Structures are given as C-alpha cells and as structure tokens.
Structure 1
C-alpha cells in the first residue's frame, strides 16, 4: 500500500511525521512519489492559527480529491482542538488526536481489517508521554530527539495547550537509550526538542540533569543542541553545564514574542522586558560565545505604533543573533481571539518587513563576533560542503578534499547570511 504524509505546523509535527514514516516503512507500506496518487494519506494537522486550521482542512480535501478511494487519516492538533461535529464534517476515515499517535500503524491496520474509526481522547485524560523514537534521519549528521510534549503556559494567542494537553515527558532511561541508538547510526549532533523543552522533568531529573546523563553515556563526538527554551527555564545549573562542556552547542533559541511590557501582558507571557534583559545579560557574562536567537509575533491585538517601536528598540538593545518573525494570526477559541483591536493586514506586513530587515542586521553583527567557527558538515555538492556552526549560522566550505564531521576553521567572507570558507 502506497502512502503520503502531508505535514503542517511546527518542528515537533515534522518530527512526528518522520516517526510515522519510519514506522510505516518498517511495516511494509511504500512511500509514494510526490506527484502520484496513493492508497493512504496522513494529514499531520496544525491548529496554531485560523490560517493553519484552514490549511489543514484544505490538505484533507486535496487528498480526498486526488484519490476518492484512498484511506485518509487526519491526525494531531487540529482534530484534537475542534469539536465532534467538526471532526465528523471532515469526512475522513480515521481521526487521531494528540493521543495514540504512536499507534498510527496499528490503527490503520485495524481500520483496513474492520473499518473501525478511531476517536479523539479528551486532553484531560492525557497522562503518559507517548514514546515516538526515530532511529535514523535523512540529514544523517543531525538528529532530533523529542523529550517533552504539551504545555501548561496558556499564552493568550496560543491553542497548543488545548490541542496537545498538559506537559508530559519520557523517562530519562528511554531518552538515553534512544540517544545511544542515534549515535550508533553516525549522527553527530542530537537536537533535544519538544513543545516546552525546558520543562523536561523525570522525578528529580530536570533538563540539565538529563543533559549530564546524555553527555556521560554517549560517545564524545556527539554534540547536543536545545531546540527552544523559555527564558524562565534557563537555569543556573544549565548555564554552568554549558560553560563546562563544549559538547553542548553555543546557541539558545529563547522566544520573547514581544519586547514591550504592555504587549507581553496581553499575551500572558510570564516575564517583563526588564526581567528578560537581565537574564540574557547574565547568560552572556557566563557564556560569552553563546548566540541567542528568538521568536517575535508582530501585529498582536491592540499593538500600537508606540508598542511596536518599543519592541524594535528593545530587540536591538538585547542584540539577538537572529529573529524568527510571525505576523499575529487569530485562532478562534483562544483568549486573544476574544479581544478587540485587530491590526490591519497591511500594517502587519510592514512591521514584519521591518523586523526581517533587523534580523539580517543582527545576524551579521553576531556572525562577525567570531574569527574561528566550528561547523558540522551535513551534506555537499561537488566541492561545496554545507553545514551549521555551533551558533546555528549557515556555512559553505569550498574544499577539494573530502570533509566530514565537525571541523574548526576561519571564515573568509559572509554572503547572504552565510559564512564562506575557502579551503583550496
């Protein structure tokens, strides 16, 4: 049976789609080419905004149109978030919410035998972390390891707590076991990922404790990267560990979302700009080579020109290494969707462009801080080798000799936000 997986949304969804792909192939399913109809469509849905929800519905309709006789599975956040009538109206064969996702292959196989449709479990009933280990990644050198799911933060703009449920984590033993397996398959860097990665907890073991165990029990060539972490979760223990061990990459992605206190308060974010700045300053005193990137939402409900200008000024002062910029998009059912004062679309677009321009400036400033860079070579074409630095900047290395693994070099130029290294 040929299948396709159509993925929307975040990196965690991408991770989970990779898991589905690995499990399906191991069970005898065949991945279809992009332009051919297939027998099984899996739509990994997203609900973070109304736009994402609309795209999820569109992908479902496209699949049904491409092959009306195919089995269509809608899985993930969108189908968890909507009500039973809306799920029924989708007209899909199988619905799997935020639970039982690791049983996808079994559920599809059972459906083929009995035509029994799965149901969505209420988020109040989520209790255990569903293990979804992936053993090999296409990029070969960089692997992802999901160590957390769910969120308890309830930011006013976000539907994730309603779609993925409360926070839950795997045991440290299972994380270590998967990391060891990844290291045996030639992965040189493991990215710890989750919805709220910094909230990892297994008994008395927090994220720093988990990293200590991983560093101790995996090969010394393996480096670790934290995909994203909240400022309130960058503990002194974690900072000290990064200071002592160079196998933890010198990059932290810390979402700020807005750099104006009035905007942050409406977003229900758990810090002020002053608190954020103070913590960033401390991190840099301890880790002078660390690069810190961030997420910014612009055009949030009631964001005035003055608030936006305050955000821009504070972003400059903080000096992030780069920005991921998102225009605010309403999601029905969240607290923000009940607020008045939506920002005009053209204004949002203009503000996005301002922040993207700022991001380029910030990245160039950050890249120029380093004379020597450490690059993980991930792939190549002819004599050009591609990879990312410890600080998560792109690098192109020109070399007539084969390159692999992690290399330390001096760069020759910066072009299009990319280090250029000429090895001869």
Structure 2
C-alpha cells in the first residue's frame, strides 16, 4: 500500500482543507502516516501570511526530501499561489497546485514518478461562485473544523490573503451540512466553523446565523464554535443566539489589530478604536 503524509502550515482553515485532502487520499487507497515518516507521497499545505511562514514552507520541503529522497512532493496552499516562481526553482518539488485546484489535488496525482521539473496547476483567476467540497475531514480529535467560506474582499493594506485565496465566496449549505453529518458519524461532537472571513458567509441569501442554526439541528453535534471573525461582521442576531440556549459556544476570537485610529486607517481596517 502506498504511504502518504500530509502537513499543514498556518491557519485553522488550512487545517480543515488538509483534513479533507487526507480523506480523499485515504479513499484512493493510501495509508496515511505521520509527517516525517518515510512516505511515497508528501503533501504540504502552505501559508504565505508572513515571510517567516514562507521560509518555513521552503525548509519543510527540504526536510521532506531528506527524509524520503524518492518521494513525490506536492505543494499547495497560499504560498503555492503567491510564491509560484520561488517554488518552481526548488529542485525538491514535483507538483505545485494553486488555490483554484487545491481541493482537487489528489485526482491530479496520477503517478508518483518524480518530475525533472515541477508540474504546475496554477491560475491567477480564482472562481467567485459558491462552492462544494468533496469528502469529510479526517481528524483524530473530538473537535473538527468545518470550512464554510473562503476568500476576502476587505483588502487590508498589509494582507496578502485576497491575492492568495481570491474574492470571498461561500460553501453551499447542503454540502457543509453533509460534511457535518459525516463528522458526527465518525464520532466528532464539536464543530469549529472556519473560513477566511466567516462573518461574510452568504449563500442563496443565507447568513452565518443560518449556518449555526442548521448545524444545531444535526443530532450528535453538541458544540459549535466560530473561528476568528472580523469585528464588523458580528451581527446582533448572532450574539443573541450565542447568549441564549444554544449549542453555540459563547466565545469569539476577534482580531482588533490596533487601538490607534491612524494605524487602523493606514491598515485599511473597517473600524475605529
């Protein structure tokens, strides 16, 4: 049986995506092994939010190659989108998959024969339509991440994410509920709603509150959490739901960024101190 190892650098959304890719690879017959163990296939889901994160990505690629000289190395994630030319020059990489094709990565691995030059699946244009995700996240913990949204339109002056992940778009409600039910079947009792800008969820006129209420109706989902959320996107209705009898945990991770209005304006944030 072919062995595959996956590793994530970065945010909870990256973790959610890696878990789904792991599920897809398992369904294709791969044995999943811990990162650093000898493998036939390495998949690295990368981050580009800081220069340090990008350096970590390159270092991990080299580490993977040293651990398994003959392995096939696939790199995806935000750095695969924004750092294509740097990754292309790395002799250790066999496949580079940008944002548009990321969640379909396993189907593009038709052979584990090493490439003399990296194969590249990359487009500057990223779809803006509502989306679905194939599979159910593969987690060992009781708590599982659930991707509901991607991309961002806020264009903060310091942030690369709109270029790495594209414009904001939302996951179809029926599809995210399908995965949530699959997570319950696998024994997960706590779901963490995640995305780039989750408070901007909007699919067929539905909002983040509709997502929460729909998840609450799934038997076996005992707790619901919301990952990092922009302060200007937290609705009164969402807070009222959180304050009342609900499976939604009374906790929010809110990035305030600065307490100085001049700094906030320079950052192109949408609020004042």
State TM-score, norm by structure 2: 0.89
**Measured at CA, do residues 178 and 158 of structure 1 come closer, stay the same or move farther in structure 2, by a change above 3 Å?**
same
Alignment of 1:354-365 (within 5 A): none
**Partners of 1:133 and 1:145 within 8 A in 2:** no
Match for residue 156 of structure 2?
155
The CA deviation at 1:173 is: 1.2
Alignment of 1:261-280 (within 5 A): 261-273=261-273
1:171 aligns with 2:172: yes
Alignment of 1:42-121 (within 5 A): 42-83=43-84, 85-91=85-91, 92-108=93-109, 110-112=110-112, 117-121=119-123
Runs of at least 4 residues of structure 1 off by over 3 A?
32-36, 111-116, 123-128
Distance 1:137 1:34 in 2: 15
**Measured at CA, do residues 205 and 262 of structure 1 come closer, stay the same or move farther in structure 2, by a change above 3 Å?**
same
Between the two structures, name the one with larger relative contact order (CA 8 Å, sep ≥ 6). 2
What secondary structure sits across from 1:4 in the alignment? Answer: strand
Match for residue 370 of structure 1?
none
Distance 2:36 2:189 in 1: 33
Alignment of 1:12-51 (within 5 A): 12-51=13-52
The CA deviation at 1:34 is: 4.5
Distance 2:221 2:32 in 1: 33
What secondary structure sits across from 1:44 in the alignment? Answer: strand
The CA deviation at 1:49 is: 0.8
The CA deviation at 1:114 is: 11
Match for residue 138 of structure 1?
140
- Matched length: 269
1:331-369 Cα distance to aligned partner (Å, 9 max, x none)? xxxxxxxxxxxxxxxxxxxxxxxxxxxxxxxxxxxxxxx
Distance 2:208 2:106 in 1: 31
Q: Tell me, which stretches of 5 or more residues in structure 1 are unaligned?
A: 274-424
CA-atom RMSD in angstroms: 2.2
Comparing 129-138 with 24-33, which one deviates more in the overlay? Answer: 129-138
The CA deviation at 1:213 is: 2.4
Alignment of 1:251-270 (within 5 A): 251-270=251-270
**Measured at CA, do residues 254 and 133 of structure 1 come closer, stay the same or move farther in structure 2, by a change above 3 Å?**
farther
1:258-296 Cα distance to aligned partner (Å, 9 max, x none)? 1111221221111001xxxxxxxxxxxxxxxxxxxxxxx
Match for residue 192 of structure 2?
191
Structure (1/2) with the larger strand percentage = 1
Q: Tell me, which stretches of 5 or more residues in structure 2 are unaligned?
A: none
**Partners of 2:144 and 2:188 within 8 A in 1:** yes
**Measured at CA, do residues 4 and 221 of structure 1 come closer, stay the same or move farther in structure 2, by a change above 3 Å?**
closer
The CA deviation at 1:36 is: 3.3
1:219-257 Cα distance to aligned partner (Å, 9 max, x none)? 276221111211111112212222333211111111101
**Measured at CA, do residues 34 and 223 of structure 1 come closer, stay the same or move farther in structure 2, by a change above 3 Å?**
closer
1:46-81 Cα distance to aligned partner (Å, 9 max, x none)? 111111111111111222233332211111100101
